[in-house]
Amino acid sequence: MNLLKLPGASAALLVLILLVAWQLTFMAVGAVAIASPAATFAYLAQHLADLGPHIWATGQAFLYALAIAIAGGLVLGLATGLSATAAETAEPLLLAANSIPKIALYPVVLLLFGIGLPAKVAFGAIHGVIPVAIFTMNAARGVPPVLLKTAAVLRLSPMDRIRSILLPSALPEVLTGVRLGFSLTLIGTILGEMFGSQSGLGYLLMTSIGLQNTQIIMAVTVLLIAFAAIVSTALLAWERRLRRRR
């Protein structure tokens, strides 16, 4: 049990357990339904270069979408969070928007933007922007009033106020929103590629579903999970460090 206390040890054990569960599922349902871990990693080792263009296409769309989601969420969150009336007005609307199945909006996005990069980016961004906005709004609301009064006494300009009071005070909670926004933007971008594009990992996933190529399905899924898990763990660690520093 003491081994578990080593940093990373429990994560390694978790990965091991998941791999065993994967192998057992494979043994239960067979190669028609799911590729084995061995076959998947063999495929990845052999064909990673072939996946390159798809990874690049998804990565590009994802970065644009994430930038828009974070910037939009920060602006929306700060704009509503700085006034009590605006926050109270916006909160249930944002929560309601968060509960909408955005996939139902997909046809609208596609009709507005056409097939291709802009549609993927828009679809990724509408998934990610709302959690960032909700957490930023609550973070801005939670800034101690005495800090804001100090800023008023010191006659800081609005820009200075945001830079030297608001952001440092609100950063940990904003980071929570960014972490959620990151995940949702990734999912949104992939979903966008599944229907509205001719390239990217989502497109590859969708064509492999049609061809029942379980090796590619599992390889793409593993890549996405690994990427998402690494980034989200890093963001979580950063967030915890900031909170501890308080």
Partner 1 sequence: MNKITLYRILAVAIPLALIELACRLGWINRLTLPPPSEMVVGLWGILKSGRMNAAMLETLRNVIVAFAGSVVAGIAAGALVHGVAPVRRLLEPLFSTYYAVPIYGFYPLFIVMFGLGDKPEILIGFMLAVVAVITATLAGLDGVPRVLVKTARVLRLGPVRTAWQVTLPYAAPQLFTGVKLAAAYSFIGVIGAEFIMSQSGLGYEIRFAYDNLDNNVMYPLILLVLVVAVAMNGALDAWDRRLRERRRAGR
Residues binding partner 1 (CB under 8 A): 1, 4, 10-11, 13-14, 17, 29, 32-34, 85, 88-90, 92-93, 95-96, 98-108, 110-112, 180, 182-184, 186-187, 190-191, 194, 205, 208-209, 212, 214, 217, 220-221, 224-225, 228-229, 231-233, 236
Cβ closest to partner 1, residue 30 vs residue 168: 30
Q: Which is closer to partner 1, CB of 123 or CB of 161?
A: 123
Q: Among residues 92 and 145, whose Cβ is nearest to partner 1? A: 92
Query: Exposed, middle or buried by CB within 10 Å (0-12, 13-18, 19+), for 74?
Result: buried
Q: How far is the CB of 146 from partner 1 (least distance, A)?
A: 26
Nearer to partner 1, 7 or 145 (CB): 7
Nearer to partner 1, 150 or 212 (CB): 212
Q: How far apart (Å, rounded) are the C-alpha atoms in residues 81 and 190? A: 31
Neighbours of 68 (CB within 10 A): 18
Nearest CB to partner 1, comparing residues 152 and 211: 211
How near is the Cβ of 145 to partner 1 at its closest, in Å?
Answer: 20
CB of 155 to partner 1, least distance (A): 30
**Separation CA 74–CA 134 (nearest Å):** 9
* Nearer to partner 1 (CB atom), residue 85 or residue 157: 85
**Minimal distance in Å, beta carbon 211 to partner 1?**
10
For the bound state, the minimum distance from the C-beta of residue 151 to partner 1, rounded and expressed in Å, comes to 26
SS (H, E, C) the chain: CHHHHCCCHHHHHHHHHHHHHHHHHHHHHCCCCCCCHHHHHHHHHHHHHHHHHHHHHHHHHHHHHHHHHHHHHHHHHHHHHCCHHHHHHHHHHHHHHHCCCHHHHHHHHHHHHCCCHHHHHHHHHHHHHHHHHHHHHHHHHCCCHHHHHHHHHCCCCHHHHHHHHHHHHHHHHHHHHHHHHHHHHHHHHHHHHHHHCCCCHHHHHHHHHHHCCHHHHHHHHHHHHHHHHHHHHHHHHHHHHHHHHC
- The minimum distance between CB 187 and partner 1, in angstroms, equals 5
Residue 154: CB minimum distance to partner 1, A:
31
